Chains A and B, each alone.
Chain A
């Protein structure tokens, strides 16, 4: 009897895969029709432009990117936290927008790699504000309702103001891809 149980146990051990739902989480903008068409002029200084073409080449602020991923993360962090210091960079974190544009021919692999770099910049900033590691921050952000402590850390990290607005929203704009490749 016990052998049969063993056999079954081994069977289940081998076949069980722990379903893990992990990935890069993003929020999509509201449907195209519902957005009121108003042409808001966003000053150039508040935009950090990242573009990827159909050959997976990276263009950062109009220049071909030669640096490493962590250089790019640092550059984005500096841009977000500029607070008006450098007149060519952002006014403040809530106005700073990271604009990410790809081409229809860009590979998903590259898209994810660059998205990862951008999200790292934001998560690093939030984590720094509350003095936790990037990893811990992501755990908090995945489930802020887990405990009052998490809730507090989460709100403080993102700078939730009394009116509910965020001081440090993740202003990541993933633009409709261009049509060159494909």
Chain B
């Protein structure tokens, strides 16, 4: 019995990945039915968009969070290049940006982000969604 427990323990210890970023924007993720799964996790980079959690400090305008900080849309090209440089040279054009956007965020800011991503040549995009139950 203890061996089994140990084995399970090792399994979880090895597979667990500690979250390295704490999300500082609201994240009520929309639901959809036609989800696709991404295979190569190392090629996926996240951008979080939503109202800041601490409204008193940051205001209630939706903001873009990359890694641990807020960035402006014009800084996205720089961010993409920085993320690309961490990947293998052969894989750089396969980078996928996952947008985790709060339900109530308006399209405007997201469209600005998309324009910058096009300029940065990171054109694979994933709108992060949760599975929708029922229907379809």
Q: Do A and B come from one complex?
A: yes
Interface, chain A (partner B; CB < 8 A) = 1-2, 5-6, 8-9, 12-13, 15-17, 19-33, 69-70, 102-109, 111-113, 115-116, 119-120, 123, 134, 138-139, 141-143, 176-177, 181-182
Place the interface of chain B in its size category.
Answer: 35 or more
A28 and B34 contacting across the interface, CB-CB below 8 Å: no
> Is A9 touching B5 in the complex (CB atoms < 8 A)?
yes
Q: Which residue of A lies closest to B100 (CB)?
A: A23
Contacts of A104 in B (CB 8 A): 106-108, 111
Instruction: Give the distance to chain B from A32, nearest Cβ to Cβ, in Å.
Output: 7
Given contacts A6-B5, A19-B41, A107-B103, contact A28 B123 (CB under 8 A): yes
Contact partner of A177 among B19, B30, B32, B108, CB < 8 A? B108
What chain A residues lie within 8 Å of B37 (beta carbons)?
Answer: 20-22, 138-139, 142-143
| Closest A-B pairs by Cβ, 4 of them | A104-B108, A12-B12, A2-B2, A116-B32
> Residue A24 contacts which of B16, B110, B126 (CB distance < 8 angstroms)?
B126
In the complex, which residues 12-69 of chain B have their Cβ closer than 8 Å to any Cβ of chain A?
A: 12-13, 15-17, 19, 30-39, 41, 44
Residues of chain B within 8 A of A23, CB atoms compared:
32, 35-36, 98, 126-129
Judge whether B15 and A103 touch: CB under 8 Å. no
Instruction: Identify 4 new A-B residue pairs, CB closer than 8 A, beyond the known A106-B106, A108-B102, A108-B106.
Output: A2-B1, A28-B114, A105-B106, A142-B37
Which chain B residues lie closer than 8 Å to A111 at the CB level?
Answer: 107, 110
A29→B118 contact, CB < 8 A:
yes
CA distance A31 to B115 in the complex (A): 8
* Interface of chain B, main secondary structure: mixed
List 13 interface pairs A-B (beta carbons < 8 Å), by A numbering.
A21-B41, A21-B44, A23-B98, A23-B126, A23-B129, A29-B118, A103-B107, A104-B108, A106-B106, A107-B106, A123-B34, A139-B37, A141-B36
Expressed in whole angstroms, the minimum distance between the Cβ of A153 and any Cβ of chain B is 16
Q: Do A22 and B118 contact each other (CB < 8 Å), given the known contacts A105-B106, A108-B101?
A: no
Asked whether B104 is an interface residue with its Cβ less than 8 Å from the other chain, the reply is yes
With the chains together, A31 CA to B35 CA distance in Å? 26
B124 interface residue (CB < 8 Å to A)? yes
A9 and B12 contact, CB distance less than 8 A:
yes
B-chain residues with CB within 8 Å of residue A22 when the two chains form the complex: 35-38, 128-131
Q: What separation, in Å, do the CA atoms of A109 and B130 have in the docked complex? A: 12
Q: CA separation between A5 and B124, bound complex, in Å?
A: 43
Closest chain A residue to B101 by CB distance? Answer: A108
CA distance A17 to B37 in the complex (A): 16
Complex Cα gap A9–B6 (Å): 8
- What B residues does A31 contact at CB under 8 A? 118-119, 121
